[in-house]
Amino acid sequence: MTNANPMMLVELLKGHRTYIQTHNYPDPDAVASAFGLQTFLRYHGVEARICYDGSVERMSTKKMFKVFQIEATDADELKDMTEDDYIVTVDSQKYNANLTDLIGDEVACIDHHPTYIPCEYRYKDIRTVGACASLITEYFVITDTPMDANTAAALAYGIKMDTNDFIRGATELDVDMFDYLFKQADKEKIREMYSNVMELSDLNAYAAAIESIRIFDEVGFASIPFDCPDAMIAIISDFILSLEMITISIVYASRSEGIKFSVRSEVPQKVDAGELIRKALEGIGSGGGHKQMAGGFMPTSADTPVHRAQIEALFLRILDPENKSKQALTPDSLDLCYDGVQFVE
Ligand SMILES: [Mn+2]
């Protein structure tokens, strides 16, 4: 068990107008954590509003608001926030690039990411586990706070999503907390979260990636030649990684000001995704992140076309400095059999 003392957080917030702020463009773990914390604080007499900056890009996140009846305010609508208001940041830390500095006072932080720029908080609970939702769940457990089936379902979904079903960064705490949640969660709602999660427009991104994929040994590259939300690029990167022969996926998409990257590594001991993108874009852009997932951006002019080979070379010179990888494999290079039934329009 933990040193965290959530009742100290309750004491700190009592009598103050309180906001729970997630990172910008919140993902399911951020929303689940904020919602779980709101439920926890409410039970102990503290009303808090959930807020975030940036739009909600992912279908799975959008859907959470509906399925779990979560209310959150876009930062643009927070005109009444003052510097006397208290903010608890969840799934993010002050000074992170993905957390807008709102006018209120960041008095508390609950997060599961590594700290890049340290910050003093009056209440701090930063532990490296698979999901921030696991930390919030533990607050209920150690204080014997009752949990309803809806909140349990939201937190369970957050843990499942952020740990990619317990294969990404999951710790014993994540498993124990999921076990606790599962017993009381509204399982119908969790199931509902897994249906109808794609929009028709998402298929364009999948189609572009499938069409453009090129594989060098275990490294898969794919490009999306139109503006596509960050969250979707990340989903495509996971999709490419799920291919049998690929252990590292690099997906990049066109933006009006440059190229956006998402990198995944299935072999974090051998290839650190964050280090890979940092080195690949050194001097020409910026990138970084975790060992298993990372992102980056390279500014370029929209007037100059970029050769895919140029992009591939940025990464391959690091992954394969001796240039041993054979010719790129593409789906076209597979021998498909065309002698069955013919489909016509
Ligand atoms: Mn998270």
C-alpha 61 to ligand 1 mean position (Å):
12
C-alpha 158 to ligand 1 mean position (Å):
8
Pairwise CA distance, residues 1 & 147, whole Å = 19
Q: What is the DSSP letter of 246?
A: -
The confidence score (pLDDT) of residue 201 equals 85
C-alpha 331 to ligand 1 mean position (Å):
34
Angle at 229 between CA 292 and CA 193, to 5 degrees: 75
C-alpha 310 to ligand 1 mean position (Å):
33
95-139 pLDDT, tens digit per residue, is: 887 889 999 999 999 999 888 788 999 999 999 999 999 999 999
The confidence score (pLDDT) of residue 56 equals 83
Q: What is the DSSP letter of 1?
A: -
Pairwise CA distance, residues 166 & 154, whole Å = 16
C-alpha 91 to ligand 1 mean position (Å):
5
C-alpha 216 to ligand 1 mean position (Å):
31
* Cβ count within 10 A of residue 41: 22
C-alpha 26 to ligand 1 mean position (Å):
9
C-alpha 290 to ligand 1 mean position (Å):
12
206-255 pLDDT, tens digit per residue, is: 999 999 999 999 999 999 999 888 888 999 999 999 999 999 999 999 99
The confidence score (pLDDT) of residue 50 equals 97
Going from the C-alpha of 42 to that of each of 80, 125, 137, the distances in angstroms are 21, 19, 15
C-alpha 160 to ligand 1 mean position (Å):
11
Tokens 């919140």 locate to: 26
User: Is the pTM for the entire model greater than 0.85?
Assistant: no
C-alpha 30 to ligand 1 mean position (Å):
6
Which strands, in side-by-side order, build the sheet including 86-90? 72-74, 48-52, 18-22, 86-90, 105-111, 123-126
C-alpha 279 to ligand 1 mean position (Å):
25
C-alpha 49 to ligand 1 mean position (Å):
19
DSSP string over 6-67: HHHHHHHHTTS-EEEEEPSS--HHHHHHHHHHHHHHHHTT--EEEEESS----HHHHHHHHH
CB 218 within 8 A of CB 248: yes
C-alpha 301 to ligand 1 mean position (Å):
33
CB 119 within 8 A of CB 62: no
C-alpha 113 to ligand 1 mean position (Å):
7
Report all structural domains of the chain as residue ranges with CATH numbers, in order of start: 6-193 (3.90.1640.10), 202-328 (3.10.310.40)
C-alpha 33 to ligand 1 mean position (Å):
8
